[in-house]
Structure 1
């Protein structure tokens, strides 16, 4: 099978969980002896994966340009995977026109509209506070599925994202919570969704003991809004509470694309160290005694917590952080909602060896039972092959998707063609509109 992946960005497995997941998918496809090509309109990034080592050609493409039509027509892929719904909006209509029989698969990474809804709920709660101190005390968003639906249903991003899900032959979801939300609240048919836990989580071969480890650790891509909010909450509220109990405690904060506003938080006297990029996340993770992930909003699966479990490092997080990972299994650390409980749990794990060892064992069990790479990969391959074998019937059953492709993508198609004509200098075109978010 010939596979084309259209990435919103080039995969960076050392920077983000989304990058790790993309490499895992590529490796799975290559293991089937499928030919894979990766294309993206993004600028080449400093930390991108070496796709050539996986025998995967890199093809730069251009938004709103007919050159993509020439490229995809010549390639004639059997399967096209869109990395995030933005890519589906931009390129799916072109793929359908040039390769109508190609499977169109949407990889969500996480539900962007869910993350956005939770971020807006957090901001609303903070805006209602009477002081800065009260804002810092706000815990993780705890909205129910019904409450989330009420926030998301009339929102532009949710409508765009779920429309992309309907237009696709299959959508891959990494979180079973998100699959349930789409099915039960938005009414998306189960036939359009596939829960796939594939992630690149190699277990660290050497795991130092409790006594051999020291300090707390926090890690995450600073360009990801939930991670930046977590660092701010650590600095303003959580770390002072921990240091009251453990005056000599040290926190090492790592993250790719560290901005000046993050390095400005550095304060060695308070034990707060902003160390920036970690070339090997596992190398620093196995040295820490406890991982802190105070995520107040977000979506998907948290790669940092999977990495912590793989390194035998217990963690403290929120229900947002643990969502979709453990099922009914006990957590590999502690899951808490508010600042004081978070600090208490962090201190307890740092100081109590028996508690620490039990949390470590819980984390290993979660990875073994919930993130079985072989089982998850085989299930996805079988689903894709079955879908391809029965594609005409599957598409007939998805009437809503066909309707959306017929109507909604026409506006995207015509706008893209107008921009392409403008860029070629065709007569009768006017300046490009300012709002490009819907193109």
Structure 2
């Protein structure tokens, strides 16, 4: 089958989070005999990241990312009548490229990865008839609702968020209703969408994790170190690190003065980079080619996210590597968590610090939690089984008898 993927950034082998999910879907679909095309945004100077993509995708179109400065986004909000989060990712050029690729290359189905890219199926005058699938990694609307609960009412951050949410709920669900099918990463996300739009056709297609690539390591061979990783273009990750350092970290260093905190991931903003100057025990790496050396070095992984929604692939990777995870309840969404069995869950700073200190010092418990986490990933997040779910959706929309489906 020919499948067009529409993405808001370049998926590649070293990508983090949702972009790693997209890259693995592409690679594994090609291994199963499908032909894939990709239309994606690409920032200046990052064209080399598309090399991995070109090795697997038969057709690749890189489109310059629209300006993300506030004044440019506001101009698109006013000109194209799209809410802030969707206007941020809107480009008339992408609209035409998507339509041209479908028409010229005769794609029977197109998959918009991330909800904001589903807007290229809506009122696109260039788009011919095609089956439309939206892969909702996390609902922008529900993520913003949760963010409002974190910020103090009346504060600048709260007020700015309220302004940016204007019109978003209606537009987002219009985008979903315009699609032929929606896929989500977790049952929770499917439930939330259906509470707002009961008539949507939604399937759950979780991401997988390569458990052979992430192997458990003996805790006695690790550093006394804590780790977090994520893509810092996502505000939830920025907030998570800053909250952890301000509220949890002092409770850990008071007991473990020799501790280190590795913050791994691309695009760390100035407030995150500044943490290094304030505390030499904090290491901010920026983009790394491979996260595995840090997963093997650290003794505990933390996921202190306070808002947003969707399944966190960072947690899957850590658990697959046998690294004990201490997370907020929100951070374990979509994952079969067994507190005290394969992870620890804490929403309060003192409790999170207590669990981290416990796992840093009790190596037997550390090993037990880590191995249980690894087994959980083997049982529930096998890529081959989960890719069957994606193929099932595509087969439903483009039956084999049309001659377009090739498995």
Q: Using structure 1 for the length normalisation, give the TM-score.
A: 0.76
Is 2:124 aligned against 1:94? Answer: yes
* Alignment length (residue pairs): 364
1:226-241 map, 5 Å: 226-241=236-251
In 2, the alpha carbon distance for the partners of 1:390 and 1:57 equals: 23
Q: Deviations over 1:4-62 (max 9, x none)?
A: 11112221453421111101221232133221110124436364561121143211358
Q: CA deviation at 1:350?
A: 0.9
Structure 1: tracts of 5 or more residues without a match: 129-150, 392-439
Is the contact made by 2:209 and 2:377 (CA closer than 8 Å) also made in structure 1?
Answer: no
Deviations 1:313-352 (A, max 9, x none): 1111101100111166865321111100000010011111
**Are 1:257 and 2:259 counterparts?**
no
The Cα of 1:361 is off from its aligned counterpart by 2.2
Contact preservation (8 Å) 2:226, 2:298: yes
SS at match of 1:80: strand
SS at match of 1:50: helix
The residue aligned with 1:79 is 109
Partner residue in 1 for 2:54: 52
Root mean square deviation, CA, Å: 2.8
Match of 2:230 among 203, 206, 220: 220
Following superposition of structure 1 onto structure 2, how do residues 127-142 of structure 1 map, counting pairs within 5 Å?
none
Alignment match, 2:17:
17
| Match for residue 385 of structure 1 among 384, 395, 405 | 395
Matched, 1:173 2:184: yes
Q: What is the rounded CA distance, in whole Å, between the counterparts of 1:316 and 1:329 in structure 2?
A: 9
1:141-290 equivalences under 5 Å are: 156-183=167-194, 185-189=195-199, 192-204=201-213, 206-214=215-223, 215-267=225-277, 271-290=281-300
Structure 2 alignment gaps of length 5 or more: 65-90, 157-161, 402-407
The CA distance in 2 between the partners of 1:162 and 1:390, in whole Å, is 30
Instruction: Give, in angstroms, the shift of residue 160 of structure 1.
Output: 2.1
Q: What is residue 104 of structure 1 aligned with on the other side?
A: 132
Taking structure 2 as the reference length, the TM-score comes to 0.81
List per-residue Cα deviations over 1:189-219 (Å, max 9, x = no partner): 36x1110112353444654311101111121
Distance 2:263 2:154 in 1: 24
Secondary structure at the counterpart of residue 223 of structure 1: coil
**8 Å CA contact 1:325, 1:366 repeated in 2:** no
Whole-angstrom distance in 1 between the partners of 2:62 and 2:309: 29
Alpha carbons 1:208, 1:287 under 8 Å: kept: no
Quick check: which has more Rg, 1 or 2?
Answer: 1
Residue aligned with 2:146, SS: helix
Name 1:143's counterpart in structure 2.
Answer: none
SS of 1:286 mapped into structure 2: helix
- Aligned to 1:208, the other structure's residue is in SS state coil
